[in-house]
Chain A
């Protein structure tokens, strides 16, 4: 804090300060223009949720209608179905897929074959860098009737080929599996880093006391990474309304459309596929943005309570300290 006071000049008027920093303001111009046009104008455009959109009058000139769009929206059963479906898919997906990278990190750390462990780790992170478009192409190929998985199952004695991606009951489980396949290797990196940050002395002391391998995992490794695990979990809960659109959108098809309509796909459908009412669509957008904001702020607060640095990471923390 003392440093700040030195940095912040006590003498000199505001104007003098502004003149002194004139080049800083010049540098800010391009970024600020971008933020005004592509971040804050759309945000202002959310006012359309309370208007009846008229193409000729544009966003700002269209007449106000109050909460009319929302009363239509909240009366639409498809909207509520999509909200519950989103929550159900994302919460169950979080619960099921979340432990995988933690276990993966533990396994990769525990195995005594170092080079094998390194190679695996590299391999596991690869799919993360591919888009869901590419991954869906890979999955559709592997999981088709004549794909590798079904052929392999046939060798094992399964008679009927399984329709993995074209069946309603298997759609959500397939989301879990493909999510694990694509992203868990990447998520494991954070835990691997946390494990490598554990003080070696703790293990050495345990060795002297004659601790077994299991005891070391349970008593040293797990308790040490638990705060990281907890913070990661809370931060993931902040996105349960918006996560997974890319995945669902690319893996769905005509057969699974009914069970795949999450909120973002509902927005896409009412906006770009049926007769367009932009006021109505914006009302859904606003609902989504507001609920998401509430969830994110709650997750951020909780994560901070439990010792994490929150959503803005180092940056946010530093800002608060230095300004």
Chain B
């Protein structure tokens, strides 16, 4: 984030910088600032005391940095439980999602077999028409999955968009390669494990990231399908922390109300930072793979 302030930019061309360049520079810099400042503020508030956060909103650095807010979160059972639940969601959900997408993607990448067209049609149809939240809830209830993380795992472990990316990728693998393996006596299973999977590492990485971000940012299904607080993932814990203050501040709309809130701004912002960290760490990878994804997936 600090790089935004860097001024060692080089000129793209030898031409002189004109007034337009300075106007554009100002506009782009302004937008960059509106992105950096909120994050910076969240970061500083998370390291400061409630008193300092309310008294000096425009601080650049907290004068007396404290880890108290983070300590509170780690000692507070809810946040740690939420973190654990999200990890479980990722560890179970992403491999399952990869398994489903790869098997179906590989099968549908075959140019022809009876029923292929019908299956493809039925699969892509779900992209434009679905039951919606209420019937899904009822189906999950009949399966006895309501109140369990499995409900969220199952409803989020397949995406038709990712399936199409997978099919397209598999179709670029030369069929001759597969045929020669078959001629050498390799069965279908062996062909997949020793030829297809090694060749598909790039797309597997992309799709792992897609599903990973999906599960990490998932909150709506968890809110609907899991009602017990101790089973909710991180995003929902964060949501309840944030919403908690909000009700207090809006109900009385005065500064005094801040004191009544169960959680200080510092604690809330520390929670925001902790929920953001994995996204920040993976950001370079995410940007690269997602960009590839939309280029293949949308328009060319």
Q: B-contacting residues of A (Cβ < 8 Å)?
A: 4, 7-9, 14, 17-18, 21, 23-25, 27-32, 34-35, 37-46, 48, 53, 58-59, 104, 107-108, 110-117, 119-120, 122-127, 129-131, 133-134, 136-142, 144-148, 150-152, 155, 163, 166, 181, 185, 189-190, 193, 213, 228, 231-232, 235, 245-246, 249-250, 253-255, 267-268, 271-272, 278, 281-282, 284-286, 288-289, 292-293, 296-297, 300, 308-309, 311-316, 318-319, 322-323
Contact = CB atoms under 8 A, between A and B. Distances in A.
Nearest to B129: A293
B contact patch SS: helix
A107 B117 contact: no
B255 A146 contact: yes
5 contacts: A113-B12, A131-B217, A134-B235, A267-B134, A278-B138
A141 B45 contact: yes
B181 interface: no
A116 B36 CA distance: 15
B240 to A, nearest CB: 10
Contacts of B75: none
A1 to B, nearest CB: 13
B42 interface: yes
A139 B38 contact: yes
A116 B35 contact: no
A30 B103 contact: yes
B-side interface size class: 35 or more
Given A120-B28, A134-B272, A313-B164, A112 B112 contact: no
B32 A124 contact: yes
Contacts of B163: 31
B131 A122 contact: no
Contact of B119 (A28, A125, A285): A28
Leading 8 A-B pairs by shortest Cβ distance: A42-B131, A45-B135, A31-B104, A315-B164, A285-B132, A131-B217, A23-B188, A116-B9
Contacts, number: 340
A14 B106 CA distance: 21
A129 B213 contact: yes
A7 B111 contact: yes
Contacts of B230: none
A119 B30 CA distance: 13
B170 to A, nearest CB: 11
Given A34-B157, A38-B154, A148-B38, A311 B127 contact: yes
A148 B57 contact: yes
A44 B139 CA distance: 10
A268 to B, nearest CB: 8
Contacts of B138: 42, 45, 48, 53, 59, 278, 282
Contacts of A14: 114
Interface in B102-125: 103-104, 106-108, 110-114, 116-117, 119-120, 122-124
A4 B167 CA distance: 17
Interface stretch (B62-70, B87-95, B199-207, B287-295): B287-295
A136 B24 CA distance: 29
Given A41-B139, A112-B11, A267 B131 contact: no
B10 interface: yes
